[in-house]
Amino acid sequence: MRIKQKRKVVYRKWTYQGGIPAVILQGRFLEQFGFRLGSYFLVDYRPGSITLTTIKPEINNLLEERK
């Protein structure tokens, strides 16, 4: 299943000097694609592209144990 949605870069207030750019993703569809509440994911940044990749559950467990 593939869902495409248009999103907008917005500004979040950060300091009295102004905001910072923010990309917000929220929705139940995240769970359908493996982004479970509290799980970790990798973020890869490239010019014009941001890729989010889920981390395997056993690695998530190791990361939680290290907290």
One digit per residue, the tens of pLDDT, for the chain of length 67 reads 666 777 788 888 766 677 888 888 888 889 988 898 888 899 999 999 999 999 887 777 777 777 6
> What is the spatial distance between Cα 22 and Cα 11, in angstroms, rounded to a whole number?
6
Write down the domain spans for the chain. Answer: 10-65
The pLDDT score that the predictor gives to residue 2 is 66
> What is the spatial distance between Cα 49 and Cα 61, in angstroms, rounded to a whole number?
28
The pLDDT score that the predictor gives to residue 62 is 77
The pLDDT score that the predictor gives to residue 66 is 77
- 16: which DSSP letter? T
At 45, which amino acid appears? Y
Alpha helix stretches (DSSP H) within the chain: 29-32, 57-65
From 23, 48, 25, select the one nearest 35 (Cα to Cα).
25
